[in-house]
Amino acid sequence: MIWATGVGAALSVLGLLLAYLVGLAALPLITLATGLAVLLLVATLSAFRGTAVLRDFSDPLFRRRLRWEIDRCRRHGRCFSLVLLPTRHAGQTQRTLRALESELRSIDSVDVGPHGVMALLPETDRSAARAVVERTTALLPAEIDETHTSVATFPDDGVTVGALMDVLGSGSPRPRGARS
């Protein structure tokens, strides 16, 4: 996201510099190019919103299950939590997965990325999800990066996949009442 912001700023500055060098005759063309650069920047930022966490987790069934769970919880006024357990090193995800599986129920879903494990815990509020995180990190304190574990709870932290992923990526829940 920082890269996209930098590119947009650079294109805007480049457009202004070209307008100055070429003169006023080329100003409409330069203005058009700068406007297109800004649109490209907005489209890029929109595409990346909420995907910083998801890009490492690519299981389409997990994503489908997550969208299904959001719909189910909206319809029935229920909650669920997402748990992110990042590992200190890429090769430790399988051990983390095995430790987490000892805490999971049959209705829970898991996705494994190169740098961690994400779990979808239906009918689980924040305190119960935090307890799962604490028990799992206690089993593997050397492997799990405890400072970056995070929990996002529907609907408290967000009502869309993007909002929930933003909370997981930031590692801190949204203030009460701040929904997206």
Residue bearing tokens 């129920």: 105
Torsion of CA 151, 154, 158, 163, to 10 degrees: 60
Q: Structural domain boundaries of the chain?
A: 2-48, 57-170
For residues 46-60, average pLDDT:
56
Q: Which helix (H) or strand (E) holds 110?
A: strand 109-113
Of 49, 10, 3, give the one whose Cα is nearest residue 33. Answer: 10
User: pLDDT (tens digit, 9 = 90+) per residue, 68-84?
Assistant: 999 999 999 999 999 99
Do residues 118 and 82 touch, judged by C-beta distance below 8 A? Answer: yes
Would you tell me how many other CB atoms lie within 10 Å of the CB of residue 64? 11
Report which of residues 174 and 141 the model is more confident about: 141
pLDDT of residue 107: 95
Q: What share of the chain is helix, strand, coil (3-state, %, to 5)?
A: 60, 15, 25
In this model, does residue 113 exceed pLDDT 50? yes
Tell me whether strands 109-113 and 150-154 are parallel, antiparallel or unpaired. unpaired
In this model, does residue 109 exceed pLDDT 80? yes
For residues 25-50, average pLDDT:
50
Do residues 5 and 44 touch, judged by C-beta distance below 8 A? Answer: no
In this model, does residue 63 exceed pLDDT 70? yes
pLDDT of residue 71: 98
- Percent of the chain residues topping a pLDDT of 90: 44
Report which of residues 80 and 45 the model is more confident about: 80
**Is the overall model pTM greater than 0.75, yes or no?**
no
Of 78, 169, 67, 84, give the one whose Cα is nearest residue 119. Answer: 84
Q: Within its chain, how far is the Cα of 38 from the centroid?
A: 24
For residues 96-124, average pLDDT:
92
* CATH code for the part of the protein at 57-170: 3.30.70.270
For residues 21-30, average pLDDT:
59
What are the Cα distances from residue 41, in Å, to 37, 46, 125, 126?
6, 9, 37, 35
